[in-house]
Amino acid sequence: MLALVVSLAAAEGTMRWIYRDVTSTADSRGSFTLKWLRADVRHNHDGDRGAEFDEAKPAGVYCVAVMGDSFTYGNGVAEASRYSNLVADAVRGRGIEVLNVGFPGNNWTEHVQTLERRVLRLRPDVVLLQ
């Protein structure tokens, strides 16, 4: 029995070393994601990943709110590589603001709650659900 426990512990340690550069899995509470969250992720005052943004929609600005799960949140990738950031970069200077309110693990119930509690008060012109 002791040999089995030691073998499993050694296998676990070896696999963590082999996959030490992996930063994402589908499990938002897995060890890879938790390690990545401690190292590379910033959140604003509302808990959204990324920079602070003004909740009052500026006059003359077309606002796109992006909702979703870990893909939208950008689980395991640099903030600048999230698709919402890439879209924001592509439309920069055109009077369009892209806000990301995605969160890992969200499903339909959480999307509805996010829409009701958070997104609608931002008064977006478009809500994109990924």
pLDDT digits (tens, 9 = 90+) for 54-65: 888 889 999 999
CA–centroid distance for 13 within its chain: 28
Q: Name the CA dihedral angle for 75, 79, 77, 12, rounded to a multiple of 10 degrees.
A: -70
Count helices and strands in the chain by DSSP H and E runs: 5, 3
Mean pLDDT of the chain, nearest integer: 85
Per residue in 13-39, pLDDT (tens digit) is 787 777 666 555 555 566 666 666 667
- Tell me the pTM: 0.72
Low-confidence ranges of the chain (pLDDT < 70): 19-38
Task: Say how far apart CA 25 and CA 33 lie, in whole Å.
Answer: 7
